[in-house]
Amino acid sequence: MKGQGRAGTGSGAVSGSTMTGTAGTVPRTMLPAGLPACAVVDLDAIRDNVAALRERAGNAGVMAVVKADGYGHGLVPSARAALAGGASWLGVAQPAEALVLRAAGISAPLIAWLTVPGDVYPEAVAEGVDLGVSAIWALEEIAAAARDTGRTARVHLKIDTGLHRNGATAADLPDLLDAALKLQAEGLVEVVGAFSHFAWADEPAHPTVRAQTARFVEALDLCARRGARLEVRHLANSAAALTDPETRFDLVRPGLAVYGLSPVPQLAGPERFGLRPAMTLLGRIVMVKSVPSGAGVSYGHAYTTPADTTLAVVPLGYADGVPRHAGNTGPIQVRGRRYRICGRVCMDQVVIDLGDPGNGTGVEPGDTAVLFGDGRDGAPTAQDWAEAAGTISYEIVSRIGTRVARRWIGLDMPAAPVPRSRARGIR
């Protein structure tokens, strides 16, 4: 068996199901011994991606979006790497995610923009987490939390400029703004920001991009006319940050690009923007066997071997985030050669057809299979998987299941022991 050596503490230590180490010394394709699968996250890549985004943003700062467990890359490690790359702000969806960052000692400016009635407002306000507000009910709950904690709450007005998801419409904004400014006069809240989100920035020439930007400017003018003194105005997600300088304002707010994936794959890959994918998903070959021509493979026999051949089994399935739609299409590289999943994706495993009755490939149990990585050496990427499954790369990385161990390399992360159970929860 190859490629399974345990790294020493100098280059990263294995602990439970996770390890950390230095990107240069611990290869991204090293699957620690005994693990069925592992998502390796190169924190140097995240840091460098943020540095590239910063450079492209000109005078605007970068708010790195680390919601949803850092798009599957680990909330706290991703946040640290993004800050090391020069992010001046962090963004998450839920206040509980922001509290995990604060509990980890991260004191950078931080906003959570998706709150629900009865949310952890007092805790968020006490921890200095900025909150996005779309409606007056949320403002009232935030003001109550400010009263209870004795701390002024910092809010960013979320403006619906055309996504028609969250945010105050042009008709509702004047009332929301007036209510916020009244609470500001009482010392309960401070209106520090305004923001919006694009519907169609992944098609840079789409007319909604211009229209939404214009509506955002109108909303900012209204805020200014009514006396709001905003610290930060932010609109651009990854696609806009990379393709449209007019959408930058004070901060750009990229998520996907932070992790090295292209938000406009139909136009350009990540390398065009100086980005590199941070995650590599590895699985261990657990079974290799000969089968005759005409053998139906996996549930429903959706694949039949066209000739005598050798099959190999990889212990990753839809419970681990391998999309079931990737049956008969998902690419997997073993020993430098690319194969496709044959038959259906099961809950815990997939099968590949090595296409050689004598197993001249030499693939054997214990070998490392690369599902996706940074695309070097011909290995598939998360974008390849997105295309194979008819989805987007966002979904491929953010849905990697909690059963898959994470291994963080790079950034000289301390090799702190992480209990196996905790390592699989929120980080």
Ligand X SMILES: Cc1ncc(COP(=O)(O)O)c(C=O)c1O
Catalytic residues, by residue number, are 67, 299
CB-based burial, 128-153: b 16+ in 10 Å, e otherwise:
ebbbbbbbeebbebbbebbbebeebb
* Cα-based torsion angle of the residue sequence 307, 312, 317, 321 in order, rounded to the nearest 10 degrees: -100
Nearer to ligand X, 268 or 307 (CB): 268
Q: Which residue has the tokens 């509702």?
A: 172
Nearer to ligand X, 73 or 197 (CB): 197
Residue showing the smallest CB distance to ligand X in the complex: 255
**Distance in Å, CB of 386 to ligand X, minimum:** 14
DSSP state at residue 168: B
Q: Which of residues 217-246 bind ligand X (CB under 6 A)?
A: 237-238
Stretch 51-80: interaction string toward ligand X, x if CB under 6 A: --------------x---------------
Tokens in use for 41? 């996250």
Which stretch in 140-148, 251-259, 368-376, 418-426 sits in contact with ligand X by CB under 6 A?
Answer: 251-259
Tokens in use for 78? 């991703």
**Distance in Å, CB of 384 to ligand X, minimum:** 19
Which stretch in 100-108, 186-194, 253-261, 359-367 sits in contact with ligand X by CB under 6 A?
Answer: 253-261
DSSP state at residue 3: S
Of positions 14, 94, 113, 260, contacts ligand X by CB under 6 A: 113
Instruction: Tell me how far apart the alpha carbons of residues 19 and 84 are, in angstroms, rounded to a whole number.
Output: 20
Q: Does 197 bind ligand X (CB under 6 A)?
A: yes
Which stretch in 4-12, 27-35, 255-263, 336-344 sits in contact with ligand X by CB under 6 A?
Answer: 255-263
**Distance in Å, CB of 238 to ligand X, minimum:** 3
DSSP state at residue 374: B
Torsion angles phi and psi, residue 238, rounded to 5:
-55, -50
Count residues near ligand X (CB under 6 A). Answer: 10
**Distance in Å, CB of 343 to ligand X, minimum:** 33
**Distance in Å, CB of 404 to ligand X, minimum:** 21
Instruction: Tell me how far apart the alpha carbons of residues 261 and 275 are, in angstroms, rounded to a whole number.
Output: 7
Among 93, 275, 74, residue whose Cα is nearest residue 197: 93
Q: Are 11 and 22 in contact (CB under 8 A)?
A: yes
Interface residues toward ligand X, by CB under 6 A: 65, 113, 197, 237-238, 253-256, 263
